Amino acid sequence: MEGELYVRLGYTMDALYRSITRHLAYSLGVVPTQASKRDIYLALSYSVRDRLLEKMLKTNQRYEDSGAKRLYYLSMEFLIGRSLANNLRAMKIYDQVAEALELLGTDVETICDQERDAALGNGGLGRLAACFLDSMASLDMPGFGYGLHYDYGLFEQDISNGYQREKPDSWISEAPALQVERADAACIVPMYGRIEETKDKWGRHNPLWLGWNLVTGVPYDIPIAGYGGLTVNRLRLFAARPSTEFDIKIFNEGDYLRAVEQKIESEKISKILYPKDSYEAGRELRLIQEYFLVACSLNDIVRTYEKDYSDYNKFPEKVAIQLNDTHPALAVAELMRILVDQKWVPWERAWDITNRTIAYTNHTLLPEALEKWPESLLARLLPRHLQFIYDINQQFLDRVVTLWPGDVDRMRNMSIVEEGPPRQVRMANLAIVGAHSVNGVSALHTDLIKKSLAPNFFEMWPERFNNKTNGITPRRWLCVANPNLHDLIEDAIGPGFVTDLERLRELEPFAEDPVFCEKFLQVKHGNKERLKDVIFNTTVVEVDPASLFDVQVKRIHEYKRQLMNVLGIIWEYLALTEDGVEPANPKTFIFAGKAAPGYWAAKQLIKLIHNVGNTIEDDPKARDFLKVAFAPNFRVTLAEQIIPAADISQQISTAGFEASGTGNMKFALNGALTIGTMDGANIEISQKVGRENIYICGLTAYEIEKMKRAGSYKPKAMYDKHPMIKRVVDSLASDRFCPRESGLFAWLKDYLLADNEMFFHLADLESYVKTRELSTKEYVDKTLWAKKAILNVARVGHFSSDRTIRQYADEIWDLVPIPPTEAEKSGKLK
Ligand code: GL5
């Protein structure tokens, strides 16, 4: 009697009120009248979790009944942020909960504000994974995330005297309220050890991997609610624990301390998320993390498959695995090892299965992000996997030789193993060889993969390469982040666009409607008021919502060119204070973003932004026209507050460097106009919104590439020729912005004037400054501005992650939706 497994859970205000008070008493042991905000937050989260789990069990049953193919998204990062408000909206119980909380003497926003961000990612790549989970659930697709259950997420950023200080983000210390530990599904992961070459009973070569250390992977499930709340998928995060068997063995040998050390060693594996840019050094622990993720996930995937099938012939028809960048690329070797060593599938057959199952997404062309691991490290940590990598490489290179006999350079370039010293394993090559699909994340990026990153591979397997332009979930980036804009749109075009974002097109006629435009501007103004308070509470800067909010928020990196933005600000500042040229409208420049702890230049940029801001603030001639605010500790929750308040979105990476960008999409959806280069998805955004509704500047990727090849970029000549560029650069090099730290920014002049300056700051500066001027002028005309902003909103429906996921499902995964049954829809138990 399956239906009776569940207690019927209510969704009315009454039922939710009862559930919250019950959890206050029986989960937390507090009387409602004495409950703190935190108690209420937890009790509400538990009430929501009950309902999510109920739906998750039903969803799982539905998937099992249908025998549908499943997609597993392997990612070292899931940048989820907060979940509670998102879940309330997905389950459509926001208003009921708001009422129930009023009875408890509080309000829903205050309670949702108690939640800590789950910052299990660095930036765009991790946030994309989170948006994808939302879309898969909202599209009723059997798609599941696999990641690591880090104790510490991305560091918290404090600012002290303009300098970034990092603090640990102990996410886990506040026991995320939604997760469920699944000790029953724990698995054992072997590592280290040695290979013993033996023969099986038929005399065949039979290498044995022996003497390993064992670590246990304990899964934690986080329910992922689709919009409407009927389909609930799960994100499974693995925490590393000591293998009990192993501990007990040492313990029994009487070596208590060694047993404890072993425990600490094992738990280190899922302790921290590595901040971007600090793991190129080839840190052993990072490789162990990557392998641990892969081993735990594949174990789980194979176990799930084996519930229904006794051989592996159907594996690629029932399982799709997507590698989120090269980080989980060891999945190629691990799946081969499982199939060949554990399931006795012949090598060739195993290779066919592996290749048809695995697909790979590339997220960056930056050479420093293309992972390579020393062969010696792999030999020590994963000796058996390395053998598989050699065999895969051998078979692959044999093909290359047949196709291009004698082309040694090509072989060297394509080989999975890079010649030394030191010899290294190239993870991108392993992923490309092992996957049946390789995709980029914007049209330009995919083109560059084919032409510059992997031209030889493209020549060999053109059908393998494809584009999947990124997207964002409108549930979080509109419904949750900007509820007033959502409501305004709904009043205009009716409900339903949140799951069918192309319908925003119906807004186009409203761009000409003065009443709608007025309301649109009011919503924006309200969001700016809200942000003003956030900024005031976290910095001491007081911003004016009537000024133009010009925003650049993202990781701090040279290629993203926050420095060019600062050069633009200095330009405007000098023009104002020395030439008497006032901007057409007062402007507030808002920055936020973290610099990797080991990335000196990026940290200097944060200091520079603060110092330029202070200099302007101290200058009575400037402070009423220009203001600079750096909002500390950028994270999903802060993005949700900043993006809806932006007038201008700065997306000014050096063309060819930003694979796609997703912030650009979030801003446009929230009615900000983009100042952008022809890079990543900016190009597709400009095609959709129309060139008259976006401010494009700078060189194209191909122009930059050409200059690089010809060595024709001569920034010093530009500096000599253009008086304003000279003034800006010289002011940077002087102590004007660092009166108390003489010489602090002098390095920037040498940096900017060097012929090998990789990011072409000065090449784009003039075009960039002119474009900024134009945008400020146009901002003054409120009717024109509202029209352009509304057209941006109306025309960016294409960038919903629902569209992206549909394309992955149709073109790579062969995955179909399994919608809720009629019984589920009508709320019956079975
Ligand atoms: C990134 C790219 O830099 C972004 O342009 C892209 O939008 C994102 C998602 O595809 O992936 N690659 C990467 O390593 N991080 C990114 O944000 O961190």
Q: Which of 664, 656, 129 is nearest to 366 (CA)?
A: 656
Q: What percent of the chain has pLDDT over 90?
A: 91
pLDDT in tens, 769-824: 999 999 999 999 999 999 999 999 999 999 999 999 999 999 999 999 999 999 88
437 and 555 share a domain?
Answer: no
Q: How far is the CA of 148 from the centre of ligand 1 (A)?
A: 19
Q: How far is the CA of 600 from the centre of ligand 1 (A)?
A: 21
What pLDDT, on a 0 to 100 scale, did the predictor assign at position 278? 61
Q: Into how many domains does the chain fold?
A: 2
347 and 443 share a domain?
Answer: yes
447 and 557 share a domain?
Answer: no
pLDDT (average), residues 370-394 = 97
Q: How far is the CA of 12 from the centre of ligand 1 (A)?
A: 41
Q: Which of 608, 592, 520, 590 is nearest to 550 (CA)?
A: 590
**Both tokens of residue 617?**
């603030």
Q: How far is the CA of 128 from the centre of ligand 1 (A)?
A: 8
What pLDDT, on a 0 to 100 scale, did the predictor assign at position 201? 81
198 and 299 share a domain?
Answer: yes
In a domain, 91, yes or no: no
The protein residue with its alpha carbon nearest to ligand 1, atom 7, reads: 661
In a domain, 765, yes or no: yes
193 and 265 share a domain?
Answer: yes
Give the chain's mean pLDDT. Answer: 95
pLDDT in tens, 468-492: 999 999 999 999 999 999 999 999 9
In this structure, the dihedral spanned by the alpha carbons of residues 49, 52, 53 and 58, taken in order and rounded to 10 degrees, is 170
What pLDDT, on a 0 to 100 scale, did the predictor assign at position 281? 58
The protein residue with its alpha carbon nearest to ligand 1, atom 17, reads: 124
In a domain, 87, yes or no: no
Q: How confident is the model at residue 369 (pLDDT cuts 50, 70, 90)?
A: confident
> How many whole angstroms separate alpha carbon 269 and alpha carbon 267?
5
pLDDT (average), residues 523-528 = 98
In a domain, 722, yes or no: yes
820 and 745 share a domain?
Answer: no
Q: Which domain holds residue 675?
A: 545-781
Q: Is the pLDDT of residue 273 over 90?
A: yes
Burial of 197 (0-12, 13-18, 19+ CB in 10 A): exposed
821 and 766 share a domain?
Answer: no
> How many whole angstroms separate alpha carbon 496 and alpha carbon 332?
41
What pLDDT, on a 0 to 100 scale, did the predictor assign at position 2? 47
> How many whole angstroms separate alpha carbon 295 and alpha carbon 521?
51
Instruction: Give residue ranges with CB within 6 A of ligand 1.
Output: 122-125, 128, 276, 363-364, 369, 441, 470, 658-662, 680
Q: Is the pLDDT of residue 199 over 90?
A: no
585 and 731 share a domain?
Answer: yes
The protein residue with its alpha carbon nearest to ligand 1, atom 12, reads: 363
Q: CA Rg, the chain, in Å?
A: 28
Tell me the catalytic residues.
Answer: 363, 554-555, 560, 662, 666
753 and 658 share a domain?
Answer: yes
Ligand 1 atom closest to residue 445's alpha carbon, by position in its atom list? 5
In a domain, 226, yes or no: yes
750 and 622 share a domain?
Answer: yes
Q: Is the pLDDT of residue 284 over 60?
A: yes
In a domain, 229, yes or no: yes
Q: How far is the CA of 172 from the centre of ligand 1 (A)?
A: 25
645 and 766 share a domain?
Answer: yes
Q: Across the strands, what pairs with 156?
A: 167
Q: Is the pLDDT of residue 501 over 70?
A: yes
Ligand 1 atom closest to residue 659's alpha carbon, by position in its atom list? 5
Q: Is the pLDDT of residue 134 over 50?
A: yes
pLDDT (average), residues 554-559 = 98
Ligand 1 atom closest to residue 661's alpha carbon, by position in its atom list? 7
- What SS3 string covers 386-420? HHHHHHHHHHHHHHHHHHCCCCHHHHHHHCCEECC
What pLDDT, on a 0 to 100 scale, did the predictor assign at position 427? 97
Q: Which among 368, 438, 441 is the best mutation to test ligand 1's pocket, defined by most ligand atoms within 8 Å of the CB?
A: 441
pLDDT (average), residues 552-573 = 98
What pLDDT, on a 0 to 100 scale, did the predictor assign at position 5? 52
pLDDT in tens, 699-714: 999 999 999 999 999 9
pLDDT in tens, 68-126: 999 999 999 999 999 999 999 999 999 999 999 999 999 999 999 999 999 999 999 99
CA distances in angstroms from 22 to 39, 44, 174, 302, 580, listed in the order given: 12, 10, 21, 39, 66
Q: How far is the CA of 409 from the centre of ligand 1 (A)?
A: 30
Ligand 1 atom closest to residue 369's alpha carbon, by position in its atom list? 14
Q: Which among 76, 364, 427, 799 is the best mutation to test ligand 1's pocket, defined by most ligand atoms within 8 Å of the CB?
A: 364
CATH of the domain at 170: 3.40.50.2000
In a domain, 507, yes or no: no
In a domain, 594, yes or no: yes
Q: Is the pLDDT of residue 258 over 80?
A: no
One-letter identity of residue 481: A
Q: Across the strands, what pairs with 70?
A: 319
755 and 817 share a domain?
Answer: no
Ligand 1 atom closest to residue 128's alpha carbon, by position in its atom list? 9
**Both tokens of residue 707?**
């200059």
